Amino acid sequence: MPESITITDNRTGESIEVPIVDGGVDAAAWRKLLPNVWFLDPSFSTTAATTSAVSEVDGENGILRYRGYPIEQLAEHSTFLEVAYLLLHGELPTPGEYDKWVYDITHHTFIHERFRKRFMESFLHDAHPMGMFVSTIAALSTFYPEAKDIDDSQNRMHQIVRLIAKVPTVAAAGSRFNSGLPFVYPDNNLDFATNFLSMMFKIAEPTYECDPAMSRALDLLLITHADHGQNCSTSTARVVGSAHTDPYSVIAAAACSLYGPRHGGANQAVMEMLYEIGSYENIDPFIKAVKAGETRLMGFGHRVYKNYDPRARIIKDAAYDVFEVTGSNPLLDIALKLEEVALGDDYFVSRRLYPNVDFYSGLIYQSMGFPTDMFTVLFAIARTAGWLAHWVELLEQDSRIARPRQVYTGSTERTYTPITERS
Ligand code: SDX
């Protein structure tokens, strides 16, 4: 059987055969046959906006690979900075490449002092740290006007290093401002994850120290959140990047998309849900409300995964390592019971709703001491590497500006009537 499809326009009887290549068919082929007829797909459930080699998400089988490497292997053996290098360069670094990459990132973690004080401290004391994050990253574009020269690959990489290095500093600065604690400067003697923990939690000690299990768990969480195909925020990055906007504005736009509770905001929503449920007795009434459509089981369901999200499994296992140090999180029992009840209920099974990456991550973040409204910011720190990898891929594909079509269903032409003649 040929690897192709045939489309026939029954109005004319004309047909075309379109080859199936890498699981896709090129829309340009049918545009000739069907001018001004558009395949309607409002949430991109069925159409592909691009080809990509960055990560592979096999929803039926619950598989995630970054540049071909299974997420389980990267979570076990790699570091976030090595994964960031892999996503951006397509290959794992040699020891020399890795050392230079780590050195470059480590030496770009500072943000302009006056900017931090005057801009970030102008927010209200209770500003959501994600709102501070997206605003501050966008404002960073004003510090690096040369970032607009997106055609210079060396300049691109310089801005990429700056962004990966500075997002933890911006994130921690926002959180410290919220909690009324003094800003903690980056410590170049610490690794990426430990440095972020230091900027978040260091008080008066000369040098921040933490249990290695904590920095390892954070690094693992950053790895599992680093990339995930054409998710909502990555698609936003690609659309904004297709207009040849600077990378700071691209990342800020992507972070705005991640902020939503259906996407990266779900980890905060899961914790709020677990608090609302509060005890075993409330689980059945809550599940009834979900099945009645009154609310959603946050941290469950996924557009692509119709199987267990492999990241959820990794994070669930990592939670126990953290709880060894911090003591168990009382909400864990409720989460485990919720999962057990949902996976035994036809409402969820029939809709193929399983725990996703957000279901257990909040429990770890909370046990590590992160404020709940920082959870999405943690997601953004990790996903900055993925967003940038897709931004580079988009520019190297030399793609055209994103401009979807529409199926117009509004009024046909009509004549303006002066307001005095309107009843
Ligand atoms: C992330 O795309 C990515 O890769 C995202 C992400 C990444 O790494 O970038 O994986 C990260 O965003 C994970 C998802 C985090 N969001 C949540 O946990 C929020 C809760 N989940 C949902 O709102 C929902 O599942 C989505 C948004 C994740 C997916 O929505 P879809 O694919 O549009 O599915 P849908 O809303 O059309 O739901 C299909 C059915 C509906 O029931 P019926 O209308 O058929 O009766 O499933 C039901 C929905 O009501 N459903 C849920 C549900 N999710 C879907 N019912 C209860 N609880 C849920 N969580």
Q: 219-248, pLDDT tens digit by residue?
A: 999 999 999 999 999 999 999 999 999 999
Ligand 1 atom 5: the closest Cα is on which residue?
Answer: 231
β-partners of residue 55 are: 66
Residues with active-site annotation: 263, 302, 358
Give residue 31's pLDDT band: very low, low, confident or very high (50, 70, 90): confident
Atom of ligand 1 nearest to the CA of 234: 9
271 ligand 1 Cβ < 6 A: no
Ligand 1: which atom is nearest the Cα of residue 233? Answer: 9
DSSP per residue over 50-90, as a string?
Answer: ----SEEEETTTTEEEETTEEHHHHHHH--HHHHHHHHHHS
Degrees to nearest 5, angle at CA 122 with 179 and 262: 65
Give pLDDT, residue 101.
98
pLDDT value of position 237: 98
Res 30 pLDDT > 90: no
Q: What is the mean pLDDT of residues 131-145?
A: 96
At position 122, the amino acid (one-letter code) is: S
What does the pLDDT read at residue 214? 96
pLDDT digit string (tens) for 365-406? 999 999 999 999 999 999 999 999 999 999 999 889 999 999
301: pLDDT strictly greater than 90: yes
Query: Over the stretch 71-116, which tens digit does the pLDDT of each residue have?
Result: 999 999 999 999 999 999 999 999 999 999 999 999 999 999 989 9
Ligand 1: centre distance to CA 302 (Å) = 5
Quick one: pLDDT at residue 221? 97
Per-residue pLDDT, 172: 98
Taking the centre of ligand 1 as the mean of its atom positions, its distance from the CA of residue 300, in whole angstroms, is 7
Check if the beta carbon of residue 134 is closer than 8 Å to that of residue 255. yes
The neighbouring-strand residues paired with 14 are 9
Tokens 């390592």 found at: 321
pLDDT score at 294: 96
Residue nearest to atom 34 of ligand 1 (CA): 303
- Nearest atom in ligand 1 to the alpha carbon of residue 351 is 47
CA atoms within 13 Å, Cβ hemisphere of 412: 0
Q: What pLDDT, on the 0 to 100 scale, is given for residue 352? A: 93
Does 355 sit in the ligand 1 pocket, CB within 6 Å?
Answer: no
Check pocket membership of 228 for ligand 1, CB cut-off 6 A: yes
For ligand 1, pick from 54, 234, 300 the residue to mutate: most ligand atoms within 8 Å of CB. Answer: 300
Is any atom of ligand 1 closer than 6 Å to the C-beta of 299?
yes
232-264 core/surface letters (b: 16 or more CB in 10 A; e: else): bbbbbbbbbbbeebbbbbbbbbbbbbbbebebb
CA of 266 from ligand 1 middle (Å) equals 10
8 CA to middle of ligand 1, Å? 34
265 lines ligand 1 (CB under 6 A): no
CA of 322 to the centre of ligand 1 (A): 28
- Our mutation pick for probing the ligand 1 site, out of 262, 297, 339, 350, counting the most ligand atoms within 8 A of Cβ, is 262
- pLDDT computed for residue 77 by the predictor: 97
- What is the per-residue pLDDT across 152-170, written as a single tens digit (0 to 9) for each? 999 999 999 999 999 999 9
Q: Does position 350 have pLDDT exceeding 90, yes or no? A: yes
Q: Is the pLDDT of residue 2 over 90?
A: no
Report the separation in Å between the CA atom of 301 and the middle of ligand 1, taken as the mean of its atom positions: 4
Q: Does 356 sit in the ligand 1 pocket, CB within 6 Å?
A: yes
**For 206-219, what is the mean pLDDT?**
94
Q: How far is the CA of 354 from the centre of ligand 1 (A)?
A: 10
What's the pLDDT score for residue 184?
97
The residues near 178 (Cβ < 8 Å, ≥ 6 apart) are 125, 126, 127, 129, 371, 373
- Which backbone phi and psi does 149 adopt, to 5 degrees? -80, 75
C-beta 302 within 6 A of ligand 1: yes
- How confident is the prediction for the chain on average, in pLDDT? 95
Q: Give the separation between CA 178 and CA 171, rounded to whole angstroms.
A: 11
> How many DSSP H helices and E strands does the chain contain?
18, 5
> Token pair of 300, please?
């469950």
- Tell me the average pLDDT across 21-48: 90
pTM (2 decimals)? 0.95
* Contact status, residue 247 vs residue 147, Cβ threshold 8 Å: yes
Q: What is the pLDDT of residue 29?
A: 83
User: What is the pLDDT, as a whole number, of residue 399?
Assistant: 85
- Residue 262 in contact with ligand 1 by CB distance below 6 A: yes
pLDDT one-digit tens code per residue, 257-272: 999 999 999 999 999 9
